[in-house]
Amino acid sequence: MEKIKVGIIGTGNISGIYLQNGSKFDSMQVVACADLDVERAKAKAEEHGIKGYSVDELLADPDIQMVINLTIPQAHASVNLRALEAGKHVYVEKPFAVTREEGLAVLELARKKGLYAGSAPDTFLGGGIQTSIKLIEDGWIGTPIGATAFMVGGGHESWHPAPEFYYQHGGGPMFDMGPYYLTALVAMLGPINRVTGSARISFPERTITSQPKYGQKVQVEVPTHIAGVMDFASGAIGTLLTSFDVKGGSRLPCIEVYGSVGTMQVPDPNGFGGPIYINRPGQKEWKEIPLAHGYSENARGVGAADMAKAILTGRKPRVSGELAFHVLEAMHGFHDASEQGVHYKMKSSCERPAPLPLGLQPFCLD
């Protein structure tokens, strides 16, 4: 079967799993990589038996049909725009862009060019969330009424070698981890109508206690504790808490969905697998539900492969730019609502991504 030829821009740490998984899928083949540090790109290319390019060289290669953009968030939109201008489809790591204006510019150019633009996270295509979606659709908990989602921790300065970004504009717990949770919620419950919330900077200055920057101070520019409420178009009401300020740990679940006849505990949306539990009236104990779908291990790249399959077949990609922009707008909406003391009415919407079919062979999407 024909495969879409893919080039990766950005050869940092996350590129390894994309290069490892990329050419295993039935829809795409990674043929080149590029980086601002051309020597690093060539070293990574040699390791994986592909071409090592400068960014300009990769974008000029007529054989490359799609770009996987793994640059830093501040460069996401500019690299996406360059790839689209070069006539290539583009799939980018989360977030889709830093600002709503940048995200809209990417969507508009993709439409003008007749190209696809999509974004991670693709963890919602894993067995954990996909099985959760099927359980909802099959009525195991009845009609969804609400959901809660919690991503709380003490921050990155105690373990990350370069944690400064996480406290600068474009960072923070909402933009770092919010895409995983919001994408999973939209995949299960559909698009969001409006959001509100409260946000604060609890510690204006952070001290790095990890190596190699031990003792350096970080000035915090973005909210680090955000509590939000979402009204879904379906009528369900969701609560989302993201925080880098929880120093004593937590026992909160990642996600719970509440239905008219039961409750479902959903796995960590930052992973592909994980256990699912359901409890209904009359049950004495929570029941673990086996996963009905594959991709339960680290399958990063499955979203890019889904986009490649969409290019080949003409169907809509599950990791669409419209979904990614909807999530980006919601994240900004929580901050806006807190600053202005209002409900933020969403301007965008999106289709709920089509579930993966049952019984897929490994590394297949349809």
- Residue 52: its pLDDT value, please? 97
pLDDT bin (cut points 50, 70, 90) of residue 165 is confident
Cα–Cα distance, 118 to 67 (Å, whole number): 11
Tokens encoding 198 = 């409260």
Site of tokens 């006539």: 87
Q: Is the pTM of the predicted complex or chain greater than 0.75? A: yes
Q: What amino acid occupies position 28? A: M
Do the Cβ atoms of 38 and 46 come closer than 8 Å?
Answer: no
Give the tens place of pLDDT for each residue, 189-210.
999 999 999 999 999 999 999 9
Strand 28-34: give its sheet, edge to edge: 51-53, 28-34, 4-9, 66-69, 89-92, 117-119
pLDDT bin (cut points 50, 70, 90) of residue 279 is very high
> DSSP of 200-222, one letter per residue?
E-S-SEEE--SSSSTT-EEE--S
Site of tokens 């919330």: 197
pLDDT bin (cut points 50, 70, 90) of residue 170 is confident
- Residue 316: its pLDDT value, please? 95
Tell me the helices (H) and strands (E) count for the chain, helix number first: 9, 17
Residue 295 pLDDT more than 80?
A: yes
Rounded to the nearest 5°, which phi and psi values hold at 334? -60, -45
Q: What is the mean pLDDT of the chain?
A: 96
3-class SS letters over 4-25: EEEEEECCCCCHHHHHHHHCCC
Residue 84 pLDDT more than 80?
A: yes
- Residue 31: its pLDDT value, please? 97
For the segment 245-271, the average pLDDT, to the nearest whole number, is: 97
pLDDT bin (cut points 50, 70, 90) of residue 111 is very high
Beta-carbon-side half-sphere exposure of residue 100 (alpha carbons within 13 Å): 12
Cα–Cα distance, 309 to 304 (Å, whole number): 9
Tokens encoding 109 = 């150019």
Neighbours of 245 (CB within 10 A): 17
Cα–Cα distance, 317 to 306 (Å, whole number): 6
Neighbours of 345 (CB within 10 A): 11
Task: Report CA dihedral (247, 250, 255, 260) to the nearest 10 degrees.
Answer: -130
- Dmax (CA) for the chain in angstroms is 63
Task: Report CA dihedral (154, 157, 163, 167) to the nearest 10 degrees.
Answer: 50
Site of tokens 């026992």: 251
Residue 86 DSSP symbol? T
CA dihedral sign, ordered 306, 311, 313, 316: positive
Please list, residue by residue across 189-209, b when 16 or more beta carbons sit within 10 angstroms of its beta carbon and e when fewer do. bbbbebbbbebeeebeebebe
Neighbours of 335 (CB within 10 A): 20
Do the Cβ atoms of 27 and 21 come closer than 8 Å?
Answer: no
- Residue 194: its pLDDT value, please? 98
Cα–Cα distance, 316 to 352 (Å, whole number): 11
Give the tens place of pLDDT for each residue, 309-363.
999 999 999 999 999 999 999 999 999 999 999 999 999 999 999 999 999 998 9
Residue 187 pLDDT more than 90?
A: yes
